[in-house]
Copies of this chain bind each other. A is one copy, B any other.
Amino acid sequence: MRDVAIIGIGETQIGELWDKSLRELGIEAGLKAIRDAGVSGEEVDMLYVGNMSAGKLINQEHVAPMIADYAGLDDIPAVRIESGGASGGMALAEGYISVASGFDDIVVVGGAEKMTDVNDEEAKKILSSTADQEWETVCGATFDSLHAMMARYHMNKYGTTKDQFAEVIVKNHSNASNNPNAQYPRAIPKNFVMNAPMVSDPLGMFDCAPLSDGGAAVVLCPAEYVDNYNGDPVKILGVGHGADHIALHDRREIGGMKATRIAAEKAFKNSNISSKDIDFAEVHDNYSISEIVAIEDLGFFKKGEGGPATEEGRTALNSEISINTSGGLKAKGQPVGAVGINQAIEAAIQLRGDAGDRQVEDARYGLTHNVGGTGASAVVHILERWSE
């Protein structure tokens, strides 16, 4: 397999973008990435698009060729990759494999979601349809309540506290305050989080990532070709997929995610590095509890130490390991199908040294972690700063 580089990145503002359609979000991100890479449209071999639910959100299936078409790339084959919240990361993995194999040379991997054309209740139902429809959501479980169960389990088993959940949120909003593309680019005080209306006990409004519109794209090419393009590449060092039962009640335990552990193990193995080498990570914090579970399963902290570590500031910017420097899903936003690509873009910005006030000092290895459903699928990418 060939080494693969990210040579271009582009993302839209994330937010409630009333005046932009899915196709416009996809096109904006894709064209920014292509321009950043300095490739021409004709050079692109394939487009992968991560998208969770355009069928239900905007009544359009077959979105990948639609986005390619409207970006002026109507000759470029395009396919959609869906794995719930992990759609973007799974699309990136497919793009990586396609370039690594030699089947394609220049691949654009995009992700986009348009969530605000339906009302919040409907959008929440659609998110919940990434859990087990037949055995969970039909019985009344929601995406929020399933994560609340994981939170309660973690509190009960490891002594994690609502205060520690709040520290995740305060940190991520603080990081987002330095990210101009974030949906909520502002720090918030801890009492906001602690006193927010309850969504599903113990998770309050600020413990939950928002519903967002947004698009993101990266351009991949074989590492040996990077000199032909604009430069400022970063290397994709390793990729790993993981899986678990789709329904929470079928899992061996719900204080951690087996899918994350499998994916991380494979990605580290493919990269020949370990969790100790990672300088920063974008992890799937769709809920505050999710970040705590993730930093444990990824091996950054022992099981049960995610909450205390967060409280002690060991995941803050330029501490022991910088977690969600972009603001994460929580504060940068959650345009579901784009999330995995947004994470890769933050990693690329950090590894290029372009992150400004949220820059991780001397960042060499970054990790991205993208989860589908309540943890039935996960994908981990490890990226490395470019060196000649």
Contacts and interface: CB of A to CB of B under 8 A. Distances in A.
Interface of A: 1, 21, 23, 46, 52-53, 55-56, 58-62, 64-66, 68-69, 74-84, 90, 94, 97-98, 100-103, 126, 129-134, 239, 241-247, 250, 258-259, 262-263, 372-373, 376-377, 379
A65 B102 contact: no
A281 B377 CA distance: 36
23 contacts: A46-B241, A55-B56, A58-B133, A60-B129, A60-B132, A60-B134, A61-B84, A61-B126, A62-B131, A62-B373, A62-B377, A64-B83, A65-B246, A66-B246, A74-B243, A77-B241, A77-B243, A78-B243, A79-B81, A79-B83, A100-B101, A100-B103, A103-B239
Contacts of A373: 62, 65
A134 B81 contact: no
Contacts of A21: 134
A159 to B, nearest CB: 29
Contacts of A53: 55, 61
A79 B84 CA distance: 9
B101 A1 contact: yes
Contacts of A60: 129, 132-134
- Which residue among A94, A97, A263 has the maximum number of chain B CB atoms within 10 Å of its CB? A97
Given A62-B246, A69-B245, 7 more contacts: A55-B126, A56-B61, A62-B131, A62-B372, A68-B243, A77-B379, A80-B83
A77 B377 contact: yes
Nearest to A103: B97
A59 B133 contact: yes
A108 B247 CA distance: 22
A134 to B, nearest CB: 7
Given A75-B262, A76-B243, A243-B77, A376 B62 contact: yes
